[in-house]
Amino acid sequence: MRTNISENEATAVNSKSNPEYNKKLDIIKKHKLTKADLSWFLKNIYLSRKTDDAEITMKKQNKAFFQISGAGHEGILSATAKVLKAKHDYFIPYYRDRALVLGLGHSVYEQLCQANGNTGDTASHGRQMPAHWGNVNLNIVSKSSCTGTQFLQAVGIAEAGLHLKKMKLKDSPVYNDREIVYVSCGDGTTSQGEFWEGLTTACVNKLPVLFMVEDNGYAISTPTWVQTPGGSISKALANFPGLKIFVCDGNCPIESYDTMVEVEKYLRAGNGPVLVHASVTRPYSHSLSDDHGYYRTKDDLADEHYRDVFNAFPRFLTGTGLFTTDEVKAHLDEATKEVRDSMNRALETAWPDKSTYKDHLYSDIDPTSSEFDTAPQFSGKEDIPLATAINMTLKSEIKKNPLMMVFGEDVADFTEVEKYDNPDLKGKGGVFKVTHGVQKAAKAGQVFNSPLAEANIIGRAIGMAMRGLKPVVEIQFFDYIWTAYMQLKNEMATTRYRSGGDFKCPMVVRVPIGGYLRGGAMYHSQSGESLFTHNPGIRVVYPSNAQDAIGLLRTAIRCDDPVMFLEHKHLYYQGYNRSADPGEEYMIPFGKARVVKEGKSATIVAWGALVQKSVEAAKELEKEGHSIEILDARTIAPFDFEAVFKSLKKTHRLLICHEEHKTSGFAGEIAARVNEEAFETLDAPILRVCSEDTHVAYCPDLEEVILPQTNNVVDALRKLLAY
């Protein structure tokens, strides 16, 4: 095969005065593309399309169970794969990016194994649908089904790279010099808020992120002009500060290559983020669950068929005389055979053993183990309130770990470095002062303020954690965590599982929670811990006192799982839950309840603010001759059911107290498990003391009725003991 495009071939085309072809030929000469390069483009386009077709065949034969194609997107994606570097750059491709992933080195066999859900699936090991890309060896980061969540994770990955470069740490995660983080979407996903949050943060911090928008004109059946101002994301962003925009015909791999060479040069020079707006086609329906013939005209589809890269690129190659018809056909035949052979091999590959269904849900580093059970070494300061205990632990741990990152809304003392040594300024350090001084204890860049956007905090932290950093982030109030719930539930909780352990997300999310503030009202008094216990993959921790806060937070930071660390605001500065300093190595294993006091008449299980109210209630009942055992759960996920069962063998009566609503609160789960596994130990029905099923009102008298009080616990105990 010839290795260069001859001048005679180019002249022959020029003589035909075809401006469209001449433009492409000029690009070929400009970049000195060889015939081997053009063959690579053609082969990759054919492989991608034929792999789509193979999946469609498998779906019809019930050998694949979902299909969504990358048809029409192969031009820009093949060019991108040709320019960027697998194993060097990082990639979070969306579901249309089959051609990119193939071009980076992911095989047809691996992709068809994912379609079948078998052990050859290196992206998810049988856990995710086809077209959910991932390959740890190629730096292709595991992608979920969620649209839009990937942008903030890409930002976090890029931030992690820059931090690693700055730290120059031995034995730390690898930083690749002048790396690029690629993240992509279709035109529809640009309507997601997290797309805009990602752009904003990338521009403010001048990050090397490539935002690839593959515009095929439709978000399922909704056309671009319905959702994007001016019908064009590049027009809408034309004056966005700090963002360089490139527009190209993504149907043509030659023009796309020309664009991507410039994009790469700009990004590797450290100029900040880029958005590439590539126009592509969608010749197949959105997925096999959709029929675009219901909402697209025959003329529209015929026009797409003509512009479709699968037809247009071979037409260019033969029309210019660069390839013969036989050469083009040979490439198609070769791709068809490779896909057919790969499909046959994939269908012979075994499914995962059924016993592996829970593998990689959590880390092999078990935070419930004795490794995290260390004795306190009391010394130094005593009478430490819970808020100060958390503050001390953050300072201690960040001094030891240059990979630890602390950020959130207002968590830093200062944004501007020059203010650090200003004697007139004390610094912010969080609205509850829990992070005050942590920034000064850390190295530069480890502590910083985030935008006022909860999804931004969690999404970036996920990207950092995937890359090897240890984010310990703060959501300022539990009441506003819900904009981040998608990131927490569908991303943070699932990362390890959905990638078969290839990627992980060890991070801590600190969240002030709860009421009893007198005037906190419904948007500063919410509880809802059960909404996180319902997410496998997340640890949920809820300390009630300073010593436990120290031990549990250190375990949370040093373990290898994502942890929700819930801090009750009302308990931050109380007098009754203070402690002496248990030392800088003190840890408490998760899933181990604390026996607050022993007793024989009844068992109370509580956590958070209800621990102290249970203690006060028990004192009332002890005046009447009863002996009440109280268990502080300390962690809700995992929950120490064995401690409850053990206690019930003595007391035979159970009262569960928590601040969350009674309906669907976690007390219901405890009661159900006791009923299933320890029913014979009960001498009375299980009772609950919880918040009323309404929102917390501003008026203190109403708040007192709504939230559980000591007298409610007393009344419930009397009822339980009288049964």
Residue 669 in tokens: 């789960």
User: d(Cα 341, Cα 344) in Å, to the nearest integer?
Assistant: 5
Q: What is the DSSP string of 313-382?
A: HHHHHHHTTSS-HHHHHHHHHHHHHHHHHHHHHHHTSPPPPGGGTTTTSS-SS-TTSGGG-------S--
Those residues whose C-beta lies under 8 Å from the C-beta of residue 177, and which sit 6 or more positions away, are: 165
Those residues whose C-beta lies under 8 Å from the C-beta of residue 134, and which sit 6 or more positions away, are: 122, 123, 124, 140, 141, 142, 143, 499, 502, 503
Alpha helices in 534-688 (DSSP H): 546-558, 610-622, 641-651, 666-677
Secondary structure string (H, E, C) spanning 253-272: HHHHHHHHHHHHHHHHCCCC
Burial string for 521-557 (b: 16+ CB within 10 Å, else e) reads: beebbbbbbbbbbebebbbbbbbbbbbbbbbbbbbbb
User: d(Cα 515, Cα 608) in Å, to the nearest integer?
Assistant: 11
Question: H/E element holding 222?
Answer: strand 222-223
Dihedral, CA atoms, 200, 203, 206, 212, nearest 10 degrees?
90
Residue 134 in tokens: 């991932």
Max distance between CA atoms of the chain, in angstroms, equals 107
| Length of the chain measured in residues | 723
SS3 label, residue 214: strand
Question: H/E element holding 21?
Answer: helix 19-30
Q: Which of 106, 360, 524, 568 is catalytic?
A: 524
Q: How many CA atoms lie within 13 A of 396 on its CB side?
A: 20
Residue 615 in tokens: 């203690």
Phi and psi angles of residue 301, each rounded to the nearest 5 degrees, phi first: -70, -35
For the chain, state the CA radius of gyration: 30
SS3 label, residue 569: helix
Phi and psi angles of residue 547, each rounded to the nearest 5 degrees, phi first: -65, -45
Q: Which of 277, 260, 276 is nearest to 80 (CA)?
A: 260
Q: Are residues 430 and 410 in contact, defined by beta-carbon separation less than 8 angstroms?
A: yes
CB count, 10 Å around CB of 496?
A: 25
Those residues whose C-beta lies under 8 Å from the C-beta of residue 330, and which sit 6 or more positions away, are: none
Q: What angle do CA 326, 328, 334 make, to 5 degrees?
A: 100
User: d(Cα 428, Cα 435) in Å, to the nearest integer?
Assistant: 8
CB count, 10 Å around CB of 621?
A: 20
Q: Cis omega (within 30 of 0) on the bond before 223? A: no
Dihedral, CA atoms, 307, 313, 318, 323, nearest 10 degrees?
180
User: d(Cα 214, Cα 240) in Å, to the nearest integer?
Assistant: 19
User: d(Cα 30, Cα 10) in Å, to the nearest integer?
Assistant: 12
User: d(Cα 228, Cα 236) in Å, to the nearest integer?
Assistant: 7
Q: Is 524 designated active site?
A: yes
Beta bridge partners of 508: 472, 563
Residue positions annotated with a catalytic role: 524
